[in-house]
Amino acid sequence: MLISKIHLPRRTVLKAIGATVGLPLLDAMIPAGTALAQTAAAARPCMSFIYFPHGAVMDQWTPATEGVGLELAPILAPLSPYRKQLTVVSGLENKSASAPPVHALTPATWLSCTAPKVGAQPYAGVTIDQVVAARLRGDTRFDSIQVATEAQGGEGSTDPTYGDVYARTISFRDPSTPLSMEHDPRKVFAQLFAQDLFTRRGSVLDLVRDDAAALSRKLGSRDRAALDDYLANVRSIERRVQSYLPPTSTLRSQHAGEAPTAFDERMRLMFDLIALAYEANLTRVASFMMAAEVSDQSYDFVGIPESFHALSHHGNSPAKLERLAKVQTYNTGLFAKFVSKLAATRDGDGSLLDHSLVVYGSNMSDSNLHDHSGLPVALLGGACGNLLGDRHVRCPEHTPLANLHVALLNKVGVPTTAFGDSTEALRAL
């Protein structure tokens, strides 16, 4: 039996003028003697949509065997510790992304499976993340969050007819409302904690110190330890955010000898901020563009000096394919660290990973061909017991990607029979 001095609502926050700090799930939020399903610890799904551009080297992505018992290829090998909650889906196609201009339309069609309309104003399909966000809204501060690591892509991510809006986001709230992907981790942190990091010195925790101390005195020992660990994690991430300097910052010249902020640190911060938002019950839905469409970013921190996009036009060169696969494996490694945080974070009767459904993939397969069939898709998490893992599901070729989206919506409690250009729900899940 859980014994607590107080009962806290799940939406309890530490609050002061200029800051609001959400809390992790504590024993004090779970009334003793009450069925878990009727408490704040009731299993509720989180959904993450993690997008990477420029496809994958498919023979280094696709598992060697089908059915139960994954044999992971090199690009997915970093996810090996979580294979029991990993499902790889092959054979999917997104026809809505296949018409030119390729890069200018690819991101925004990944989660909508609807071709944008030609015209001066954006008009595409509502995306699956926003369908889920509308259903799960109610007890979180944000319906969803959208983040990225780059503000915009290079040449080819915009088009005279369609502009650049479809290349800069993977989320549409409704057909005419694209959502901005925030690429500055300082702004994401400030959004989550309602604090202005740009004008205020010190820590957000300084502002809520008295509130935190008052709460801690009322908690049991396990909750006090959990609160201390959580606040320490908030402060650790905050320090990293505070030390972050945007690539265009004029402050760089004032820091002699200081190395530029690494691209990989921006990716790490965004993953950590998403995980923190889930832990603090700030949102249950997040989407993340790990790199911009037509990204000119180099991965010299792993020994790859070429820009990501240039390398993606590999021309079937074995050397280029090897380097491209190295970049993609590195991205999966960072993603795996995010998965590990979900697995380590308590959420009711399990972990955040147990209750999550994470979609990791791209809207392109062979980047040299700009191919939108045979897409790389990996699903992580238990979806509150609704998704089995350790499987490679191979669909018939040219199965609509939207069939997967229909199945995923049903897995998280959003009854759906049709979405985008679907023909039916993907039954193999």
| pLDDT tens-digit series, residues 126-148 | 999 999 999 987 789 999 999 99
Model pLDDT, residue 249: 46
Beta bridge partners of 15: 20
Q: Please list, residue by residue across 159-172, b when 16 or more beta carbons sit within 10 angstroms of its beta carbon and e when fewer do.
A: beebbebbbbbbbb
Residue 390 has pLDDT above 80, yes or no: yes
> Phi/psi at 291 (nearest 5 deg)?
-155, 160
To the nearest whole percent, how much of the chain has pLDDT over 90? Answer: 71
Least confident of 193-197, 223-227, 387-391, 404-408: 193-197
Mean pLDDT taken over the chain: 89
Q: Are 136 and 357 in contact (CB under 8 A)?
A: no
Beta bridge partners of 86: 380
What's the average model confidence in pLDDT over 346-355?
92
Model pLDDT, residue 408: 97
Q: Write out the E strands in 18-126.
A: 19-22, 46-51, 67-68, 86-93
Model pLDDT, residue 247: 62
pLDDT band with cut points at 50, 70 and 90 for residue 161: confident
> Phi/psi at 397 (nearest 5 deg)?
-55, 145
Domain boundaries in the chain? 45-184+264-411
Beta bridge partners of 147: 182, 288
pTM for the predicted model, two decimal places: 0.93
The per-residue pLDDT for range 243-259, each reduced to its tens digit, is 887 665 444 333 333 34
Q: In the CATH scheme, what architecture does the domain 45-184+264-411 have?
A: 3-Layer(aba) Sandwich (3.40)
Q: No. of H helices and E strands in the chain? A: 10, 16
Model pLDDT, residue 251: 40
Residue 290: Cβ-neighbour burial (10 angstroms; 0-12, 13-18, 19+): buried
To the nearest whole percent, how much of the chain has pLDDT over 70? Answer: 90
Q: CA dist 259 to 54, 140, 248, 268, Å?
A: 28, 38, 14, 17
The per-residue pLDDT for range 295-323, each reduced to its tens digit, is 988 898 889 999 999 999 999 999 999 99
Q: CA dist 358 to 313, 323, 352, Å?
A: 28, 26, 11
Helices (H), 155-279: 185-193, 204-207, 209-218, 221-243, 263-279
Model pLDDT, residue 145: 97
